[in-house]
């Protein structure tokens, strides 16, 4: 493993070890915070205040007052199994003690301690682990970590006593010291002065941590390598007490994992090379050679030779591929002989049929000739009809293009209305409203006129007394909108919309469906025909097509 990979791996190992250590932080902080909360509650309790005030005045302890304070304290401590001992003292004398580990407080200089606590103005003071004399067999010398706090009178705010709550150092150690640590590893806590508060290795208790570690501990958590002792140091801080929890791990243990990974990598590489060589031989024999032969035969297909031989009888993937290619070439040969040649004959027949049909331009020229003959015979009405019909035919042809302009679509509609006016006269009124700014926009041809024709054929022809058609061409939100409204007989709108959504062709609304299908094919499903109608009242057809895409 090269140095870069090894360095990255070690960084990940450091991060992992730090995260493992930090998993103990919530449990440790909960115990310390719970202990300090208990300490504050005892300080403010009226029974404890009464006990200390009575002793301050008389120098005596009343049994009844002591009993009430004892009941409160024991109720508070009952569920806190980690509390080993609690003491109340005043003026150098212990007034009350809970727990089975201490005989007396005579190992402390109580007056001096009370003076030191008074200078903290009610703040707690955590002490490092001390060996206390106990009176339970087997626990004569148990290290305890204690928190002290001065007790001030609630109203005069003058000191009347002090308290001590002790936690078993062994219990505290179980919260942060990993059971999986090696013998070379160390786990301990030191305070802001560098004194070791708790340690898995009990010989470290009452000692101080090295100055190098104190100086290099920065921030809330982290790690660093102590080259002199060949160890990595991981730590995090406990803000509530100012303590630092430390775990050291031997660099040789951490690097052992790198050496193991190196061995695994080399073993894997050796096996990969060996099996790769074996696999390449097998692959060449069973895959590459048959594929090369098959590729050579496929090249012959391009030359028109469709007779391919089966190079392998194996039922594996290569054999299946070989058989599939043979089937494919056979199918191609059949298609060429049947479908392709049949299509050629069909196209030839269609060409001959088209040649026999009337040339569209010949029909347009014939209409133009008829118009001039009508003019010569002063048949102006007939000439106008022929001219309108001729213009409509020219628009339909549109030089073979499917796209035209809005202006040409409107002109085509006017020619259609000219023809229809000769038929219906004033029976059907048409009102047009076109935004001339849209004239230059390019749109699909034969959209607007079929909409109006739909109103004539299905809306107004059957209505006695004629009717009215309104046509508008407007621009709305980047789109061109055709809106055709009539007051004809109306139809079942639900049925019409269902037909527009299906692929089925129907003669009744063939033109409308044709318009809808052409629009969706050209512009997508977001555009098309919207149909609203009510029997006996009329119909509204709206067409929406994109404007921006069609402008020059």
Tokens of 310: 């089966």
pLDDT of residue 93: 82
Q: Is 129 exposed, middle or buried (0-12, 13-18, 19+ CB in 10 A)?
A: buried
pLDDT of residue 181: 62
Measure the CA angle with vertex 316, ends 312 and 321; round to 5°: 65
Q: Is 198 exposed, middle or buried (0-12, 13-18, 19+ CB in 10 A)?
A: buried
The CA–CA distances, whole Å, from 492 to 329, 361, 383, 544 equal 55, 41, 40, 22
**Alpha helices per DSSP H over 436-547:** 448-455, 493-501, 510-523
Q: Is the pTM of this model over 0.85?
A: no
Can you tell me whether residue 485 is helix, strand or coil?
A: strand
Using only C-alpha atoms, the chain has a radius of gyration, in whole angstroms, of: 51
Q: Is 432 exposed, middle or buried (0-12, 13-18, 19+ CB in 10 A)?
A: middle
Domain ranges in the chain?
1-181, 306-354, 431-546
Task: Give the count of beta carbons closer than 10 Å to the beta carbon of residue 276.
Answer: 10
CATH architecture of residue range(s) 431-546 = 2-Layer Sandwich (3.30)
Which residue matches tokens 């009510």?
534
Rounded to a whole number, what is the distance in angstroms from the first to the last CA of the chain? 64
pLDDT in tens, 20-49: 889 989 999 999 999 999 999 998 899 998
Q: What mean pLDDT is reported for the chain?
A: 78
pLDDT in tens, 326-371: 777 777 777 777 766 656 655 554 444 444 344 454 455 556 566 5
CATH 3.30.450.20 fits 1-181, yes or no: yes
pLDDT in tens, 435-469: 989 998 988 888 898 888 888 877 777 776 778 89
């Amino acid at each position: 493993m090269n140095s870069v990979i090894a360095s990255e791996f070690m960084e990940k190992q450091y991060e992992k070890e730090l995260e493992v250590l930090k998993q103990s932080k919530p449990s440790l902080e909960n115990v310390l915070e719970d202990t300090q909360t208990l300490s504050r509650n005892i300080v403010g309790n009226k029974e404890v205040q009464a006990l200390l005030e009575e002793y301050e005045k008389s120098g005596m302890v009343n049994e009844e007052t002591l009993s009430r304070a004892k009941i409160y304290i024991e109720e508070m401590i009952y569920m806190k199994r980690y509390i080993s001992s609690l003491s109340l003292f005043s003026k150098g004398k212990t007034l009350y003690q809970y727990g089975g580990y201490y005989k007396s407080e005579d190992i402390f200089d109580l007056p001096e301690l009370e003076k030191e606590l008074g200078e903290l103005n009610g703040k707690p003071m955590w002490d490092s682990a001390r060996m206390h004399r106990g009176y339970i067999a087997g626990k004569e010398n148990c290290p305890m970590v204690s928190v002290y706090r001065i007790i001030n009178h609630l109203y005069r705010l003058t000191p009347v006593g002090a308290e001590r709550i002790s936690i078993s150092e062994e219990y505290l150690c179980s919260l942060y010291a990993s059971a999986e640590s090696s013998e070379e590893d160390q786990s301990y806590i030191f305070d802001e002065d560098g004194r070791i508060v708790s340690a898995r290795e009990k010989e470290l208790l009452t000692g101080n941590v090295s100055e190098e570690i104190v100086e290099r501990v920065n921030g809330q958590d982290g790690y660093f390598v102590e080259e002199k002792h060949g160890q990595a140091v991981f730590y995090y801080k406990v803000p509530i007490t100012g303590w630092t929890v430390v775990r050291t791990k031997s660099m040789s243990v951490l690097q052992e994992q790198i050496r193991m990974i190196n061995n695994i990598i080399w073993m894997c590489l050796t096996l990969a090379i060996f099996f790769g060589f074996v696999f390449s031989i097998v692959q060449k024999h069973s895959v590459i050679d048959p594929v090369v032969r098959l590729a050579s035969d496929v090249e012959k297909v391009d030359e028109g030779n469709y007779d391919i031989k089966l190079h392998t009888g194996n039922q594996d993937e290569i054999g299946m591929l070989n058989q599939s290619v043979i089937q494919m070439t056979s199918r191609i040969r059949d298609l060429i002989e049947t479908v392709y040649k049949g299509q050629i004959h069909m196209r030839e027949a269609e060409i001959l049929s088209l040649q026999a049909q009337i040339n569209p331009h010949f029909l347009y020229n014939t209409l133009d000739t008829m118009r001039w003959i009508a003019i010569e015979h002063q048949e102006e009405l007939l000439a106008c009809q022929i001219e309108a019909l001729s213009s409509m035919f020219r628009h339909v042809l549109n030089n073979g293009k499917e796209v035209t302009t809005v202006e040409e679509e409107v002109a085509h509609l006017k020619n259609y209305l000219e023809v229809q006016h000769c038929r219906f006269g004033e029976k059907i009124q048409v009102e047009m409203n076109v935004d001339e700014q849209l004239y230059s926009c390019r749109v699909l041809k034969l959209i607007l006129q079929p909409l109006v024709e739909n109103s004539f054929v299905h809306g107004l022809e059957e209505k006695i007394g004629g009717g009215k058609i309104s046509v508008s061409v407007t621009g709305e939100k980047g789109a061109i909108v055709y809106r055709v409204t009539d007051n004809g007989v109306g139809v079942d709108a639900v049925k019409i919309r269902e037909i527009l959504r299906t692929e089925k062709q129907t003669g009744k609304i063939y033109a409308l469906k044709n318009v809808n299908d052409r629009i969706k094919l050209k512009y997508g499903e977001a555009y098309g025909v919207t149909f609203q109608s009510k029997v006996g009242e009329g119909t509204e057809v709206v067409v929406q097509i994109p404007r921006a895409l069609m402008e020059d």
